[in-house]
Structure 1
Amino acid sequence: MYSPLWFFIVLHGIFLACAYTGWSNLNSIPRKTIQYEDNHVITFKEKGVWNYSTMLIREDLGLLVLGAREAIYALDINDISVAKSKVPWKVTKEKQKECNSKGKHPDIDCRNYVRMLHQMNDSLMYVCGTNAFSPTCDYITYGDGRLKLEGNQEDGRGKCPFDPFQRSSSVMVDQDLYSATSLNFLGSEPVILRTSPIPLRTVFKSSWFNEPNFVYMDVVPESEDSPEGDDDKVYMFFSENAVEYDFYNKLVVSRVARVCKGDMGGQRTLQRKWTSFLKTRLDCSLPEPSLPYIIQDVFHVRHKKWRKSVFYAVFTSQSSSTDLSSAVCAYNVTDISEVFSRGKFKTEVNVEMSDVKWVMYNGELPVPRPGACINNAAKSAGIMRSLDLPDKTLQFIRDHPLMDDAVRPITGKPLLLKRGPLLTRLVVDDVSASDGQSYPVVFVGTENGYVQKAVNYNGEMHIIEEVKLFQNADPIDVLRLHQNQLYAGSASGVVQMPVSSCSRYFSCVDCVLARDPYCAWDATVQRCSRVPTSPENAKSNLIQSLMDGDATRCPTTAPVEPKIRTLVLGNNIRLLCHPDSNLAQVIWNFAGKPLPYSNRKYTIYNEGILVYNASAADAGRYTCTSVERAKGRDYTQTLAIYDLREQSAAVVTDKIKTTLGILSESYTTSSGLHKPEEPPSYSKNLSSESKWIVMQVALAVLSVMMACLLIWNLYMGHISPFMCCGRQSIKSPRNLPEREYMHTGNDAVDSKQQMVRLCVTTNSGLEATSFHRNITNGDTPTDICIFKYITDESEI
């Protein structure tokens, strides 16, 4: 008999299998991959300038204000390759030497990295830089087409980090600066600071911050339409070493904290300190047991009604035990607010023979509730501001800033799980599709220079495409979104790209299966076009199916024309076929039958097929088709058809002969012997492979023939380095010794000598000689040329 244990084991296995199936739907791969050479983006970078990591969009000025290392730029927001102005902001030699004397690298650390840019009003901006580990802030203006640094420098401690590579965050709210960074050179004193007429800061205590890494800050107008008379909140996201868990090593967790905008600190307790600071853990659960994921970036999708606002966050793994490296989770503002306003607190307790433990606080809470903003209930009790809060409430919040409950994501699980390169930054665009619905499209940057575009359809995360933005694979350090344009910054440059390029989809099926909210197939003009931003302007002839990916409405396409290719025996042949999608399965058919993937005869790869050592049996028709599955339907497209035709040996021989004839005729023509004849017309139709082979054979044969001809002429003595000019010795045939041929006349008294010269030439295979006799009669020379064919050496 089977024990109950076996039943529970089987049941547990079934549950895990179902859970894995559900989670695997979240782990997607991009449907399209656009390489750097094909991205068609606009770039900006200047030689010698690095770390383009701070951006401020000034829509009113039409500018993208860009902060880099020791420089600030004003770029045209429509074309960032156009730099309208530049302001250098370098460190002094004294500051650089002082920084170097403290053990920092002079050319890396001891420079001025612009880390903060905020708009204060229509004409004034606030900028801060690391300034060689001596943070400094200043004001900057833009007028008459140029940037100007005002020169009113302020101490930047608590506003800007000392270390240029340390994460920090800030936000400007009603000209009050909220910043999260470090207060000291070593980076060991973290702080959330408000720079205002009434400055506030956090308490330097491990229960408040324990080696944090600040990521993001923003304000939520919770006072709007609040029946409780609540205050606006500033939310901040960070990671830190957990104090509430027992672990053999430091365990990093992700947090969200908030403070009230109207906080003024305490009267006696928490003077000049936040009285409304609360924090809690952010949960981004994974399908398998693992360490908590670490938050890397956050984007606030604002809504007209703040209760519908959503925070999207990127997380990365801190464990090597899982191959799921990154995740994206989304959180409702109301869920976060609920934890802070009604959740339980954690408290420290001392346990014998052990360290301090953090447990849920079950005691009675002081009134007003610790950490709460000054609302109508507090005002009715005579508490008009935080300075009026009782010490009991302030002491409690000083010792209990941590909440017991964690904030869960909207769907209870990540929207996206990713393997491979880590995700670094994200922005989210709310897109209206042709069906009248709005879909949040997530753009996430990666550590190797890609941007991925993804959208979640009823719990299914679909990655539409990934685009490589930087050639040298730099991590994406900053992402900004503005009016259908995406701006990405890295260490080496800045890129501007449209949120969607519908022209990348060449067919109706490709356009519809992309499930891109920005794009739809226009049946009238037969191309993939941008969907109008207003649903009422959407055309009825647009074909788009985002939820179902239904391409059955697409018109039938024209059949693919076969391409004829020549099969040369013994050669390797490549046939190209590019699928439209990474999700499609490519199938090759030969003579109506599928080609096996594991055959040594063929290699099927993502760009086509290789046929090795082609034989006569490989001739025939090859068909490349792609099959892409969407919502239970298979969509098959024929991508390419090749007719591979064998080239017979006789044809190859004829072509070789023809090529040899052409070459020899060209040679004799260049020698001036006779005019070449026109080559046969069919030689013009040689394939590139055949022409190359024929050319190689022809050159080899011609080289051998020329070598043999040269050797034979040298052997026969037909070629001599001495030509018939002037007095010349004759090299006799058969390599006989040189000798002079002299003839003496009968008249010895006059001592007249007659010289006979012999010149050798070739004419129709016969040896001809020309005798020149110079006879001097007095002072008048007479040239007589006597030509005679010689058939025997004895005649010489």
Structure 2
Amino acid sequence: MMFLPAVLCVFYVWSPATLIGGQGPTSNIIPRKTVPINSNGGRLFREEGFWNYTTMLLREDLNMLILGAREAIFALDLDDITVKKAMVNWPVTKQQQMECSNKGKDATNDCKNYIRILHKNKDGSMYVCGTKAFNPSCDTMSYANGQLNLENKQEDGKGKCPFDPFQRYTSEMVDGALYTATSMNFRGSEPVMMRSTDEIIRTEFASTWLNEPNFVHMAHIPEGEPNPEGDDDKIYMFFSETAVEYDSYTKVDVSRVARVCKGDLGGQRTLQKKWTSFLKARLDCPVLNINLPLLVQDMFHLCQDDWTTCVFYGVFTLQLDSAVCAYKIEDIKAVFSKSKFKAPFPVETSFVKWALYSSELPDPRPGACIDNHAREKGFAKSLDLPDKTLQFIKEKPLLDQAVSPIGKRALLVKRGTAFTRIVVATATALKGSKHHIMLIGTKSGSVLKAVNYEGKTVIMEEIQVFEPSEPVKILRLSNTTLYVGSEVGVVQLSISECGRYHTCLDCVLARDPYCGWALNTGRCSTIDSTHTTSTVIQSLSDGDASRCPPIGGSKPVNISFFHGNAVKLWCQPYSNLAKVHWQLNGHPIRASNTFQILSDSLMIFNASAEASGHYTCSSVEGKYEAQHVAYDLKMWSGSGTTASLRDVQEKENTLVAMVVILSLILAMLVFWNMYKGHLPLPCCHSRVKDTTNRCGDERFSANQAQQHKVASSTVNMNSNNNYANIQRFSISRETDRLTTTVGSSGQISLRPIDDESEI
């Protein structure tokens, strides 16, 4: 009986805090344009026999994309990833695979070497780690003379690289030191955030620090650069975990952001070789009508000038509900420096309840970096911190206040779609304003291209990159080129592809910061420094296309149809947001038993003479209407050279009757000749000249043999097969109806079809 109240309590605690301002974003935003996989203009790389292309390192200094897969590392041309510059194999041995299999893992899938870490070293070499059949290992790799080379400087990868190739992890290389968040053991039950240097610093193995976490992202923010408070650089880590602070008999997962200081050396007695600055706070991404928290899947940070302008963009999901939330670094910093703490309090039956800690805090503040205030008190490094401060952070690293997104609401909410990854690009518009372009990978193998204008987000495109069963596993961005990785391959896409907008109206209504309609060329072009507002039309805030040149009406396509047939008229608008508007002889068409208006066509059922006329199809988007196609429909008549449907049917019936009569006569002649012996039986069909293979008896006379020869040469058995085919074709024509079809050239052709015409 206590289970339901406990769960409802969790919902009550969560809802008021997260739904404040959650009314803002429009849920289930429809992408304006859908780009199919065969029209995305991308380049695909995949190597036969290799899988899991999910680790990438951009080496713009080498103009290469370093790609980690299963048991191989590739060096691809950054401009054209179909060009493979180099490759190195890093497989597991049969012994390693056998040992892994003996421990209960799948030898085919688990017991391989999945490349999981790729970072650039200061000297230009690369640090690479792989799962190595559940025995992670790291090495140094170099690129020279057109070849990738592993230098066989292998070292233990525990705490750096995950054991399980399918477990989430994250890492960051900062000034030659590797920061990682993964699991320390084979079972994956000892999560750790660790810095790998000569003196390793890591988190405590305690549920109050990390409780079944799912790591997603790590970022270095140089807050020590020019800072009047003498603060230190920070390493921020984003993850989800099972919450310890809720009074519930069921698990509730929440999103978190944690933080450590770059200069942290651990404590002298308490927290030896452990973080003294580890703090964590809840990360909110409020969505209306969803009570349970959405869980963070990926994070990307973008800084315009210095670190104070950094914004973190995150994708969050809960089953098939997804959202994008953005966070200012200043808001995150404020929570870590000013929020109160939560603390565990034991209650009856050895139950632990978390509540707000309201007593006085030790000085220096627990979890704070060494800054000017600490130095004034004589604490020059974390080793100098008093045990009272360190003991507090050891037991109570959780902050009470949650980090709220910009505007206290999600930027984008999408129902029925699971977001997986995100990167953000900066585009400079025609008037010089800068806009953040969100590129969001999905579980269905597509990439959404979205932008936020004055609090309202629009999805410009949904680009299908992989088949729907292949989720996007990694995104990397270099200028305006996007690299999308999955289990089966990598695709290179341009995110400033303006050629997909075909008309001025289509180009301007797209509200794409990269694109504008060039009046001199009559094309949708990528914005550059030579364009001005007098030569290019672009309207991002409201999609004002009033300056677009007028478009003349389409030349009508002439169509003829038979009485009683179903006719389909195609009309595909450029935008998913446009509504199709059909007219017949200048009057709007409304849905009825005769007319059915579809998103891409008009269906006319049981067409009669009243269906003849001039049809136009226009798309209406916002306040703008544009004609797409026009048709002139006429019913076939019996006048002139065109036969009526009744005439055609009568002629077909007459032809069929004649064929049947001729078939009967011919069959009678064949049986008569066989009865008289003028035709041989099938088993005796052979040349008489071949005396060794005669089917008849030696007693046949020469005259009988001669008659046999003449009869055999007169009748060709193959002609019966041809006749049968002609007969079957004629009968099938009787059951079909004639119909009309418009090809791509606009010409009319006749073809047999069961009951409807597609035009």
TM bucket (normalised to shorter chain) is 0.7 to 0.9
1:576 to 570, 573, 580: 570
CA deviations on 1:348-395 (whole Å, 9 max, x unpaired) are: 112335721111111111111111111112122221111111111111
- Paired residue for 2:301? 300
* Partner Cα separation in structure 2 for residue 21 and residue 627 of structure 1: 31
Matched-pair contact (CA < 8 Å) for 1:346–1:400: yes
Matched-pair contact (CA < 8 Å) for 1:531–1:538: no
How big is the shift at 1:559? Answer: 1.8
1:270–1:576 CA distance, 2 compared to 1 (3 A)? same
AA at the equivalent of 1:612: F
- Paired residue for 2:458? 462
1:332 to 311, 328, 334: 328
CA deviations on 1:227-250 (whole Å, 9 max, x unpaired) are: 011000000000000011112310
- Paired residue for 2:586? 592
Matched-pair contact (CA < 8 Å) for 1:328–1:416: yes
CA deviations on 1:498-519 (whole Å, 9 max, x unpaired) are: 0121111111111000000110
Q: Do residues 619 (structure 1) and 612 (structure 2) align?
A: yes
AA at the equivalent of 1:70: E
Q: Quick check: 442-451 or 638-647, which moved more? A: 638-647
Matched-pair contact (CA < 8 Å) for 1:140–1:148: yes
| Identity score, percent | 51
- Paired residue for 2:281? 280
Matched-pair contact (CA < 8 Å) for 2:21–2:407: no
SS in 1 for 2:97: helix
1:429–1:706 CA distance, 2 compared to 1 (3 A)? same
- Paired residue for 2:658? 705
AA at the equivalent of 2:570: L
1:260–1:714 CA distance, 2 compared to 1 (3 A)? closer
Alignment of 1:719-730 (within 5 A): none
1:394–1:645 CA distance, 2 compared to 1 (3 A)? same
SS in 1 for 2:343: strand
1:656–1:316 CA distance, 2 compared to 1 (3 A)? closer
SS in 2 for 1:649: coil
- Paired residue for 1:646? 635
Alignment of 1:546-585 (within 5 A): 546-585=540-579
Matched-pair contact (CA < 8 Å) for 2:178–2:196: yes
* Partner Cα separation in structure 1 for residue 169 and residue 160 of structure 2: 9
* Partner Cα separation in structure 1 for residue 597 and residue 72 of structure 2: 50
AA at the equivalent of 2:484: A
* Partner Cα separation in structure 2 for residue 52 and residue 647 of structure 1: 59
AA at the equivalent of 2:596: T
How big is the shift at 1:537? Answer: 5.3
SS in 2 for 1:396: helix
Query: Mind listing any 5+ residue stretches in structure 1 that lack a counterpart?
Result: 1-17, 319-323, 658-692, 731-756, 761-796
2:364 to 363, 368, 374: 368
2:425 to 403, 426, 429: 429
How big is the shift at 1:655? Answer: 8.2
* Partner Cα separation in structure 1 for residue 475 and residue 404 of structure 2: 25
SS in 2 for 1:426: strand
Matched-pair contact (CA < 8 Å) for 1:26–1:415: no
How big is the shift at 1:304? Answer: 2.2
Matched-pair contact (CA < 8 Å) for 1:52–1:489: yes
- TM-score by structure 2 length? 0.84
CA deviations on 1:21-71 (whole Å, 9 max, x unpaired) are: 954535411000011121121000112211110000000101000001111
SS in 1 for 2:96: helix
Q: Do residues 348 (structure 1) and 344 (structure 2) align?
A: yes
Matched-pair contact (CA < 8 Å) for 1:713–1:719: no
Q: Do residues 254 (structure 1) and 255 (structure 2) align?
A: yes
Matched-pair contact (CA < 8 Å) for 1:485–1:497: yes
Greater CA radius of gyration, 1 or 2? 1
- Paired residue for 1:133? 134
Matched-pair contact (CA < 8 Å) for 2:20–2:408: no
CA deviations on 1:663-708 (whole Å, 9 max, x unpaired) are: xxxxxxxxxxxxxxxxxxxxxxxxxxxxxx96x9877755543443
- Paired residue for 2:51? 50
Q: State the Cα RMSD in Å.
A: 2.6
Matched-pair contact (CA < 8 Å) for 1:656–1:698: no
SS in 2 for 1:642: strand
SS in 2 for 1:307: helix
- TM-score by structure 1 length? 0.80
* Partner Cα separation in structure 2 for residue 717 and residue 33 of structure 1: 64
* Partner Cα separation in structure 2 for residue 518 and residue 540 of structure 1: 17
* Partner Cα separation in structure 1 for residue 20 and residue 222 of structure 2: 38
- Paired residue for 1:451? 447
How big is the shift at 1:720? Answer: 6.7
Matched-pair contact (CA < 8 Å) for 1:26–1:460: no
- Paired residue for 2:406? 410
Matched-pair contact (CA < 8 Å) for 2:55–2:117: yes
Alignment of 1:103-182 (within 5 A): 103-182=104-183
* Partner Cα separation in structure 2 for residue 539 and residue 459 of structure 1: 25
Alignment of 1:382-781 (within 5 A): 382-532=378-528, 534=529, 538=532, 540-597=534-591, 599-629=592-622, 634-650=623-639, 654=643, 702=655, 704-709=657-662, 711-712=664-665
SS in 2 for 1:339: helix
* Partner Cα separation in structure 1 for residue 125 and residue 40 of structure 2: 36
1:707–1:424 CA distance, 2 compared to 1 (3 A)? same
* Partner Cα separation in structure 2 for residue 525 and residue 611 of structure 1: 40
* Partner Cα separation in structure 2 for residue 201 and residue 20 of structure 1: 38
Higher relative contact order (CA 8 A, sep 6+): 2
- Paired residue for 2:720? none
1:697–1:294 CA distance, 2 compared to 1 (3 A)? farther
How big is the shift at 1:101? Answer: 0.9
SS in 1 for 2:543: coil
1:280–1:729 CA distance, 2 compared to 1 (3 A)? closer
